[in-house]
Structure formats: C-alpha cells, structure tokens
Amino acid sequence: MGSVTSTSITYQASAPVINRPNTVAVGTIVWLGSEVMFFAGLFAIYFTLRSTSPDLWAFEADRLNFPFSLTNTIILVLSSFTCQFGVFAAERLQPYRTGPWWNPAKWGMVEWFFLTYAMGAIFVSGQIWEYATLVSEGISIDSNSYGSAFYLTTGFHGLHVTGGLLAFLLVIGRVFAVKNFGHREATSAIVVSYYWHFVDVVWIGLFLVIYVLK
C-alpha cells in the first residue's frame, strides 16, 4: 500500500485592530457643537435688534474703525495658521525647536504656540482699546440697542478668545512639566487647536456681520 502524506495547514488568526476615536477629541467636538448653538443665538439677537432699528444701526455702524478692526482680524486669522504649525510639530512629537530661533522651519510646538498666544493677546488688547474708544464716543453697552448688541456679541467672543489663551498656557506648561513628550501631550495640543480654529471662524462671521454688512 502506498503511503498517504497528509498536509496540515495552520491558519494564524490575527486579532482585529479596532481604531477607536479619541474620547477627548470627540468630547471637544461635541462641546464645540453646543458653542455653535450659543453663538447662533447671539447672531439671532443681533439681527433681531438690527431689524427693529435700521436707522440707528446705519448711524452707529459708520462710527466703527474699520481699518483697525480689519488689522485686528487679520492678526487673529493668521494666529490660526501658527496654531496649526504648532499642531504639525506636536504630531511629529517635536515639543521644542531643533535649530536657531530665527528659523521657523525648525520650531517645535512650544515656539509656535507662544507665537499664537502673542497674536491672540494682541487681538484681545485691540478689542479692549476699541471698546475704550467707543465708550469715549458715547457708544456703551447701555446707550442703545446697537451698543447692547455690539458688546454682547463681541464681548462673549472676546471671553472665548481669552479662554483659548489660558488653554495655550496650560498646554505649554504641561510640556515643560513632563519628561517625555508623547501622544497624550500631542492630543492636548490638537484639542486646543480645534477650539482656537472655532473662535477664529466665529470672529470672521462676526466681523462680516458687524463691520462689513453694515
């Protein structure tokens, strides 16, 4: 009788890899969704008051310093780019610069976030200066419906920008506190960038409504 050779085939089953979304990032996105509804309410208030007093709006809006506000807006929009450069550095796990400070191509997350913080602080300072100027000209929060709508919408946005500045300081401080910069620190930088891009987009909408579409 001929011998029968049996060949056994072994299948190696690999464990399925499940890529779960980061809970912190998802939670931040959900929270930003609620913030969208909040600012949508502010826009609704602004347009409602504007529809009741069109002549007042036309008169008061012409007193705004458009060139100054445009410059301040450009600074805030550019800060969104510097923030994203910081995120790119965080994603490659580079917390600090690897070359001279005058070479931005070698900057790490900390340098880019410090620059973003400075630009955001300039924006807030410019907004405070604008408030002081308008108050000296008789436009205050209790002067008329325009003043109430203007300070309510821009003021709440200014508070959100200030909150973003504090978040940048916390993320930068966390980098100095840990020995090794890892994915957890990078995730914190990414989450803060979500928030910063959000407040930038909201301000672009406010700027168009208040300063452009008078």
Which whole-number Å values give the CA distances from 193 to 14, 25, 52, 75, 146, in the listed order? 36, 11, 38, 16, 32
How many domains would you assign to the chain?
1
| pLDDT of 160 | 94
Domain-located, residue 176: yes
Domain-located, residue 106: yes
Domain-located, residue 8: no
Q: Assess contact for 130 and 211: CB atoms under 8 A.
A: no
Domain-located, residue 1: no
| pLDDT of 25 | 65
| pLDDT of 13 | 42
Domain-located, residue 124: yes
The structure's pTM equals: 0.84
CA distance 126 to 128: 5
| pLDDT of 37 | 85
What tokens appear for 197 in the block? 């891009």
**Which domain, by its residues, includes 163?**
37-212
Domain-located, residue 87: yes
Tell me the mean pLDDT per 10 residues along the chain, length 214.
41 41 68 80 89 88 93 97 96 90 92 97 97 92 91 94 96 91 89 94 95 83
CA distance 79 to 166: 15
Q: What is the CATH number of the domain that holds 112?
A: 1.20.120.80
Which whole-number Å values give the CA distances from 91 to 174, 186, 198, in the listed order? 16, 6, 20
Domain-located, residue 9: no
| pLDDT of 86 | 96
| pLDDT of 29 | 75
Domain-located, residue 63: yes
